[in-house]
Each structure stands twice: as structure tokens, then as C-alpha cells.
């Protein structure tokens, strides 16, 4: 009995204890589940918040990316427009460089032309008192005569043309007489012959007095061993004419035409061809004609040695 009571008591106690333990376990499990549910809920909430934050950042990034794309498109358009403007500037710069080069070339040409003009002017100024003999002539007179002979008119006309063609040209006149008679008489006769020729050129051809330079040289004495023949006396009764022009004027007249390489028409027109001197008086020619064995004329003998070999061809004539 007692044993059964003990057994029953023990069983009851065990039953009560088992029931208490199950309830505890259930309570603990419930509490754990609640905690887990809360943690899961909190985790989900945190994940949701993080996801929303990430989505917000992604949207912000997308918006910024779109703005950056728009900015890049605008920058690309600006760069394209800038490239066009740079191209225009390059074209303008190239044109400016071409114009600058052309201007520099023109400046060089102008400088060269100026230097050439200055050199020519300096040359002209340096040679303004240097003259070139264009031609020489002689007009003869009868014994004790001062009248110009008919056969000398053509020679004087040619001299007048040469003086009129170049206003800077001058004519030197040197009057002579033969060896007969006194020195004073012959000097006066030579002066009158020079004056008559000058007067003829001034009155008949309007030659300016400034272009005429005359001097009476008097009589020409005979050389040692020479005899006073009609020919030598006739050759002494003369006025020597020398047409001279400044070197600068002669260079201008003989300028070469750059296109053809030949003397210009103006140069040819300004360079008259002068003929031989007039013949001696008729009474002398009857006594004997001048020799053609290469003997020089009296006018040429009076020239300096370097000028005696100058021919009309050297002066532009034929």
C-alpha cells in the first residue's frame, strides 16, 4: 500500500515535473521564436532601408550620369564649334601669312629698287661733271674769211640736232687760223670764226648759249720741217667742234630695253648719227685730195689718245 502510494506519488511528481518541463520548454521556444522573429524583422527592415538607400544612390548616380552625358554632349558641340572657329582662324592666319610674305617680298623689291635708285643717283651725282665725246667735227673757212660755207651747213645742223636732243649736252668750239699773218690778227680772226659759228647755232637753231663754250686758239704754227702748202693752210683755217654729253645722259640714251634686249627706241632717237666732217675748200681739193692711207684728221689728232680710236659705231651710230 505504502509502496503503491509511493509509486503513485512518485509518478504524480514525475508527471507534474514533466508537465512543468514541457511548459518551460515551450515557453523558452516561444521566447526564442519571438526573438528570432524580431531579429528577422529588424534584419529585413535594415535590409529594406539599405536597399532603399542603395536605390536612392543609384537613382542619384543615374541622374548625375544623365547630367554628365548632357554636359558631355554640350561640350562636344562646343568643341565642334571651337574646331570650326579654329579652322577659320587657321585660314585667316594662313591668308595673313601669305599677305605678310607678299608684303615682305614687295618690301624687299622696294628696298632693292630704292637701293638701285640711290646707287644710280649717287653714280649720276658722282659723274655729273664727267662728259663723253659723242662726236667731233670741223668747219673750214676761206682765206681771211669768217663766213660759214654752204657745205658746212649740214654739219652744223647735225650738231644742232645733237644739242637739242640732250639739253645737258654741250658743244666745245676751238677756233684756229693758218700760219700766215701776225699773231694778233690771227687770234682775232679765230675768235670771229668761233663767234660766227655760235651765233649761227643760236639764231638758226635756237641753241642755248649755256650749251656753247668757245675759245679762240689763234694761228696754228707749222711744225719743224713742214711747208706752208695750200692744203696745210686750209686745214688750219677751221673751227673744231666737239659734242659732249654727261656720262649719265649717255647711259640713259643707250639704255637697253629689258623686253627685247636691244637699245630702246627713245635711246636710238636721242642718239643722232653724225656724219664725217665737211670737205676742205674747193681750191684746196683741186690741189690734191686728202690721203686715205689711215692718216688722222687734224681734229682727231687734237683728241686725247684714248679717244682717237672711238668710232661712230661705238657711240651708237652705223
Is residue 26 left, alpha or beta, with left meaning phi > 0 and alpha meaning psi from -120 to 50? alpha
What is the total residue count of the chain?
A: 318
Q: Is residue 7 part of a domain?
A: no
Distance in Å from the first CA to the final CA of the chain: 188
Q: Is 10 helix (H, G, I), strand (E, B) or coil?
A: helix
Q: What is the mean pLDDT of the chain?
A: 77
pLDDT digits (tens, 9 = 90+) for 78-109: 888 878 888 888 888 888 888 888 888 888 88
CATH of the domain at 159: 3.30.1330.60
Pairwise CA distance, residues 211 & 299, whole Å: 20
pLDDT-derived band at 62 (thresholds 50, 70, 90) equals: confident
Pairwise CA distance, residues 85 & 75, whole Å: 15
Whether pTM > 0.95 for this model: the answer is no
Position 102 scores a pLDDT of 86
Q: Is residue 86 part of a domain?
A: no
pLDDT digits (tens, 9 = 90+) for 210-252: 999 999 999 988 777 778 889 989 999 999 999 999 886 655 5
C-alpha cell of residue 169:
649736252
Asked if pLDDT for residue 28 goes beyond 50, the answer is yes
Position 80 scores a pLDDT of 84
Position 157 scores a pLDDT of 95
pLDDT-derived band at 136 (thresholds 50, 70, 90) equals: very high
Position 269 scores a pLDDT of 40
Q: Is residue 24 part of a domain?
A: no
Q: Is residue 38 part of a domain?
A: no
pLDDT digits (tens, 9 = 90+) for 283-313: 554 444 333 344 455 555 555 555 555 555 5
Q: Is residue 151 part of a domain?
A: yes
DSSP-assigned letters across all residues of 13-59: HHHHHHHHHHHHHHHHHHHHHHHHHHHHHHHHHHHHHHHHHHHHHHH
Q: Is residue 62 part of a domain?
A: no
Position 275 scores a pLDDT of 41
8 Å CB contact between 220 and 176 = yes
pLDDT-derived band at 193 (thresholds 50, 70, 90) equals: very high
C-alpha cell of residue 151:
657745205
Q: How far is CA 28 from CA 20, 156, 285, 288, in A?
A: 12, 161, 177, 178
Q: Is residue 9 part of a domain?
A: no
DSSP-assigned letters across all residues of 173-215: EEEEE-SSS-HHHHHHHHHHHHHHHHHHHHHHH---GGGEEEE
Domain residues for the domain of 218 are: 132-308
C-alpha cell of residue 201:
647755232
- CB-based contacts of 267: which residues, under 8 Å, 6+ apart? 252, 253, 254, 255, 316
Position 186 scores a pLDDT of 94
Q: Is residue 313 part of a domain?
A: no
pLDDT-derived band at 125 (thresholds 50, 70, 90) equals: low
What is the edge-to-edge ordering of all strands in the sheet holding 212-219? Answer: 131-140, 238-246, 170-177, 212-219
Position 169 scores a pLDDT of 93
Distance from chain centroid for Cα 316:
31
**Mean pLDDT, rounded, for 6-10:** 66
Pairwise CA distance, residues 233 & 180, whole Å: 8
Position 126 scores a pLDDT of 64
The domain total for the chain is 1
- CB-based contacts of 128: which residues, under 8 Å, 6+ apart? 246, 248
Amino acid at each position: 500500500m505504502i509502496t503503491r502510494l509511493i509509486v503513485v506519488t512518485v509518478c504524480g511528481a514525475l508527471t507534474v515535473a514533466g508537465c512543468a518541463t514541457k511548459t518551460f520548454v515551450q515557453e523558452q521556444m516561444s521566447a526564442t521564436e519571438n526573438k528570432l522573429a524580431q531579429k528577422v524583422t529588424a534584419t529585413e527592415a535594415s535590409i529594406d532601408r539599405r536597399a532603399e538607400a542603395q536605390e536612392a544612390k543609384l537613382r542619384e548616380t543615374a541622374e548625375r550620369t544623365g547630367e554628365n552625358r548632357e554636359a558631355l554632349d554640350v561640350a562636344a558641340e562646343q568643341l565642334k564649334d571651337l574646331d570650326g572657329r579654329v579652322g577659320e582662324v587657321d585660314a585667316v592666319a594662313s591668308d595673313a601669312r601669305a599677305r605678310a610674305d607678299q608684303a615682305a617680298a614687295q618690301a624687299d623689291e622696294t628696298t632693292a629698287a630704292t637701293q638701285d635708285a640711290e646707287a644710280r643717283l649717287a653714280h649720276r651725282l658722282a659723274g655729273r661733271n664727267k662728259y663723253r665725246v659723242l662726236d667731233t667735227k670741223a668747219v673750214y673757212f676761206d682765206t681771211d674769211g669768217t663766213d660759214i660755207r654752204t657745205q658746212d651747213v649740214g654739219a652744223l645742223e647735225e650738231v644742232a640736232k645733237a644739242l637739242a636732243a640732250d639739253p645737258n649736252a654741250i658743244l666745245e668750239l676751238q677756233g684756229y687760223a693758218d700760219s700766215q699773218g701776225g699773231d694778233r690778227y690771227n687770234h682775232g680772226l679765230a675768235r670771229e670764226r668761233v663767234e660766227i659759228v655760235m651765233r649761227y647755232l643760236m639764231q638758226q637753231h635756237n641753241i642755248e648759249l649755256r650749251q656753247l663754250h668757245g675759245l679762240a686758239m689763234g694761228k696754228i704754227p707749222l711744225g719743224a720741217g713742214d711747208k706752208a702748202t695750200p692744203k696745210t693752210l686750209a686745214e688750219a683755217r677751221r673751227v673744231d667742234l666737239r659734242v659732249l654729253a654727261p656720262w649719265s645722259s649717255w647711259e640713259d640714251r643707250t639704255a637697253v630695253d629689258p623686253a627685247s634686249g636691244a637699245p630702246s627706241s627713245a635711246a636710238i632717237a636721242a642718239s643722232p648719227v653724225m656724219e664725217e666732217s665737211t670737205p676742205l675748200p674747193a681750191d684746196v681739193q683741186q690741189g690734191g685730195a686728202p690721203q686715205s692711207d689711215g692718216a688722222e684728221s687734224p681734229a682727231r689728232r687734237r683728241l686725247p689718245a684714248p679717244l682717237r680710236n672711238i668710232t661712230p659705231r661705238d657711240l651708237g651710230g652705223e
